[in-house]
Amino acid sequence: MHQFEESVYQLIVETSTNLPGDVRRAVNRGRAMENQDTRAGLALSTITRNINMAEEQISPICQDTGMPTFIVHTPVGVNQIELKKDIKSAIQRATKNGKLRPNSVDSLTGENSGDNLGSGTPVIHFEQWEEDYIDMRLILKGGGCENKNIQYSLPAELEGLGRAGRDLDGIRKCILHAVYQAQGQGCSAGFIGVGIGGDRTTGYELAKQQLFRAVDDVNPVPELDQLERYIMEAGNQLGIGTMGFGGEVTLLGCKIGTANRLPASFFVSVAYNCWAFRRQGVKMDPVTGEIGGWLYPSGSEVAMEEPVQQNETAAAGSVPPKGREIVLQTPISEEQIRNLRVGDVVIIQGEMHTGRDALHKYLMDHDAPVDLNGAVIYHCGPVMLKDEEGWHVKAAGPTTSIREEPYQGDIIKKFGIRAVIGKGGMGAKTLAALKEHGGVYLNAIGGAAQYYAECIKKVNGVDFMEFGIPEAMWHLEVDGFAAIVTMDSHGESLHAGVEKESLEKLATFKEAVFK
């Protein structure tokens, strides 16, 4: 098995940097459905550009490379202990080379292992089978979409849909509600895997297993095939759209599987996956460990055509060409912020600072290491590499902002922060602070890690490396960093509006469909 570790490394790199062909076709179909002159349409254009950049540069499509999860089928007699050692070695190597972000954190101490190894990571599921080759599959599912997974215990009362019973119609309601509750926080347009039955643990596992199916396959169970098609149609009528901006495309794929259950339990488990649907697999020789073939179409076989753009803002893919474009040099004044409205495009020049969960918690009770008056905080955990010249940004898209809702309003007022950049929007407490203090929330395109990395021209410094690379406070010099105002200083929130409208549309699907 002298080639096995190298083969695993190749699988990791391909999965992280090159979306497979079936996923690319789904994204292309989504772009064809969306009006290109809308925020959602142009967000899809940025996504397309980012997919191409990641493939060309062999860099992570999204900075959050998730918790690597392997499904491995081996012939009888293959030493799984040795395979696990080689898998871990390949994970360490891929992390060192910037193909994976160090994501393994001790749940008690908060310490990042730095190499993606630790208790429970990576996740490796082994199963023997009677075939004469090794089948290894890998999924990299980021935390933003992992947080939008949801499990229902039937019967249940669901917002907008009423009672969901222990039948096919109750399952239908659960899945539609799962799509609704994700909004733009899971980097829609997305894919969902659904597990019906099992217990609480195996239900979620079954749901994630559905994500290994080909996007274009047909469910062999007629009732589930019908339900998958229905969910795709109904889900896209909710109007959530790409990044939660509103639009025609909310779902790119839906796969449903079943397992037997206990008489007393009826679980419907939904695994939500963002548009950056990174999963791939290989057939391997059980003697040498060499790759004998890829299990999903190569991304290089499916072109992602980028539309011709009319101006620089459209090229950023953040907003429609008709939107106002305002260039802001940091530090930013309150007067400049008060002049912004939801829908405006902001182009940031100058220094911004990353800040995630650990930093926000710290700043509640401590001073900041730099002056944040008039500053921009970017909810981002980048992929970073260091050489003799210093630190370099390899991937730097936004993380889901709602996690910082307990802290953000207080921190805005305490330090004089004028702009917060992230994805998916924030809640009422932050909106009130933006209005009182004079701040804005800027929505960047989730998953567009290569596009935004290109806007970062220099790493000025870093604080709190003890938090780990993703949670450290990076001070970044940017040029042409484009994002859209989705929460302004006048109390307006695009996210609240889309959520309200999509709930009204969800309620139209209350009546039974399957009998």
Write down all domains in the chain, each with its CATH number in brackets.
Answer: 4-306 (no CATH), 320-494 (3.20.130.10)
Gap between the Cα atoms of 115 and 461, Å rounded: 22
pLDDT in tens, 168-210: 999 999 999 999 999 999 999 999 999 999 999 999 999 999 9
Band (pLDDT 50/70/90 cuts) for residue 310 is: very low
| Residue 316: per-residue pLDDT | 40
pLDDT in tens, 17-71: 999 999 999 999 999 999 888 889 989 999 999 999 999 999 999 999 999 999 9
324 vs 75 pLDDT, higher one: 75
| Residue 435 Cα distances to 259, 414, 431, 440, 488, angstroms | 50, 15, 6, 8, 7
| Residue 323: per-residue pLDDT | 60
How, if at all, do strands 123-129 and 69-75 pair? Answer: parallel
| Residue 513: per-residue pLDDT | 87
Band (pLDDT 50/70/90 cuts) for residue 319 is: very low
How, if at all, do strands 190-196 and 156-158 pair? Answer: unpaired
The number of angstroms, rounded, from the C-alpha of 210 to the middle of its chain's C-alpha atoms is 18
pLDDT in tens, 403-451: 999 999 999 999 999 999 999 999 999 999 999 999 999 999 999 999 9
pLDDT in tens, 450-474: 999 999 999 999 999 999 999 999 9
| Residue 181 Cα distances to 186, 250, 325, angstroms | 10, 12, 31
Mean of pLDDT over the chain: 95
The number of angstroms, rounded, from the C-alpha of 200 to the middle of its chain's C-alpha atoms is 24
* Amino acid making up residue 293: G
42 vs 111 pLDDT, higher one: 111
Question: Does the pLDDT value for residue 81 go beyond 80?
Answer: yes
Q: Residue 458: which of 483, 444, 479 has the closest Cα? A: 479
The whole-model pTM stands at 0.94
Please list the residues that pair with 73 across neighbouring strands.
Answer: 127, 135
* Amino acid making up residue 430: T
C-alpha Rg value of the chain to the nearest Å: 22
| Residue 313: per-residue pLDDT | 41
Question: Does the pLDDT value for residue 320 go beyond 90?
Answer: no
| Residue 42: per-residue pLDDT | 85
Band (pLDDT 50/70/90 cuts) for residue 128 is: very high
Spatial strand order in the sheet of 69-75: 123-129, 69-75, 134-140, 278-284, 291-294
